Each structure stands twice: as structure tokens, then as C-alpha cells.
Amino acid sequence: MAINIILLGPPGAGKGTQARRLIEERGLVQLSTGDMLREARSSGTEMGKRVAEVMDRGELVTDEIVIGLIREKLGQGGNGFIFDGFPRTLAQADALQALMAEMGQRVDAVIEMRVDDAALVARISGRFTCGNCGEVYHDATKPTAKPGVCDVCGSTDLRRRADDNAESLKTRLMEYYKKTSPLIGYYYVKGNLTPVDGLAQIDVVGAQIGKVLDKIPRWS
């Protein structure tokens, strides 16, 4: 039986990196609203342009747009999702619960990735990704072996996000504390929240998450 999990944590906590591991190791499907919105903005539509402005400022896009994107993806079927960067508000959490119930599924685990603010600033300011395969790098902690070339797929399309700068990070962190951090209490009360130390090495964090997933009785 498939499981569904949420990776919850501030920008730079390592949600995307861990989601990529889980795709490989557990065959789960990643649903990143950030990636979906970046796709929408590159489409050049009116909606895409509005979304781009909001994202570049570091603010949250409206619940309506984001829930619509998730509804569309879930409607395409599939089993076993990693929600990465969603939900980010209580309204989104309620909407997700309703959508899962409609599908006869549930959120099995919420992984809270704990990282202190100073580490987030350092992580975000050196981050870049491969535009082709999505591998995540960092200038100081995980540079490419050959400058300008992705280790995984050999692409030279390495990109930095427009919102990975000090100014918009400040807003993104404030949005996290004001609107997203209440979800920690929400899922704690629901009984499926597990904190992990997001400051540990990537493999160590992955192992901690693995332990949580292995404890889910429906995992097979």
C-alpha cells in the first residue's frame, strides 16, 4: 500500500533534496508546488506573470491557485506522494485533507525539518540546481566536481533561483513563521508529526526520514 508524506520546514531546510532521495529509494511521486509555480511562470501567461512577481518578492501565492494546482495533479492519479512545500497555510492543510479523503487516502506522516535561521541564510545564498535533472548544489558545501557541469547528467544548464537572495529570503522566512509554522501544531495534534534534525548530513537526515517511513504500518 502506498503512503503519503509531507516535508515541512522553512526555505533551505532541505525538503527538495530529501524529496529527490525518496523518489529514488521509495518510488514516491514528488509534488512540489514551488516547481509547479516556476513552471507556470515560465509559461508567460497572465497568471504566470502575476505569480512571478509574488514569488520574486518572497511572498506566498494565493491558496486558491496553489490548491488548484495540487487538485489537478492528484486528479491525474498515482499512489504515494511526497508533498514538498505544500501545504504552507492552514487553509491549504484543510484542503489537502479533504482532497485525500475524496481519494480514500490520508497523510501518513509529516516530517518537520528543523534548521536554525543562520544556517538557512548560508544554505540559500549558495544554492544552485541543474536545470536538466534537478540535482541541487551549493557553492561551499556541495560544488560540482567540474565547474559549470552537473555531476549527475553532464548538463551545463546550472541555475540560481531569482528568489534565492537575501532580501526575498527575509520575506520568505517571515511568511514561514507567520503562515506555515502553525502547521507544526496542527499536525502535532493530529498525531503524525515527527521532527528530524535538518542540520545533519544529507545521508543522516535521509536515514532519519527512512526510520519514520518504516514505522508506518501501511508501508510495504
Q: Is 71 noted as a catalytic residue in this protein?
A: no
Active site residue 88: yes
Secondary structure (3-state) at 194: strand
Catalytic residue flag (residue 159):
no
Q: Choose one: 56-64, 101-109, 131-139, 152-160; the region binding ligand AMP (CB under 6 A).
A: 56-64
Judge if the upstream peptide bond of residue 11 is cis by omega within 30 degrees of 0. Answer: no
Residue 54 has phi, psi (to 5 degrees) of -65, -45
Sole binder of ligand AMP in the list 2, 54, 90, 184 (CB under 6 A):
54
Binding of residue 198 to ligand AMP (CB under 6 A): no
Q: Of the ranges 21-29, 30-38, 119-127, 150-158, which one interacts with ligand AMP (CB under 6 A)?
A: 30-38
Segment near ligand AMP (CB under 6 A); pick from 17-25, 40-48, 54-62, 94-102: 54-62
Please report, as residue ranges, which positions from 88 to 147 form the binding site for ligand AMP (by CB under 6 A): 88, 92
* Residue 34 binds ligand AMP, judged by CB under 6 A: yes
Q: Which residues on adjacent β-strands are paired with residue 113? A: 196
Q: Is residue 161 annotated as a catalytic residue, yes or no?
A: yes
Residues within the annotated binding site?
A: 12-17, 33, 38, 59-61, 85-88, 92, 127, 130, 133, 136-137, 150, 153, 161, 172, 200
Rounded CA-CA distance 32/15 in Å is 9
Q: For residue 7, state whether it binds ligand AMP (rule: CB under 6 A).
A: no
How many of the chain's residues bind ligand AMP (CB under 6 A)?
17
- Beta bridge partner(s), residue 84: 7, 32
- Please calculate the CA angle 127-73-207 and round it to the nearest 5 degrees: 50
Helix (H, G, I), strand (E, B) or coil at 30: strand
Distance CA 148, CA 156 (A): 6
What is the Cα–Cα distance from 80 to 100, expressed in whole angstroms? Answer: 11
Cα–Cα dist 127/137, whole Å? 6
List, by residue number, the catalytic residues. 15, 88, 127, 161, 172
Q: Which chain residues interact with ligand AMP by CB under 6 A?
A: 11, 33-34, 37, 54-55, 58-61, 66, 85-86, 88, 92, 163, 172
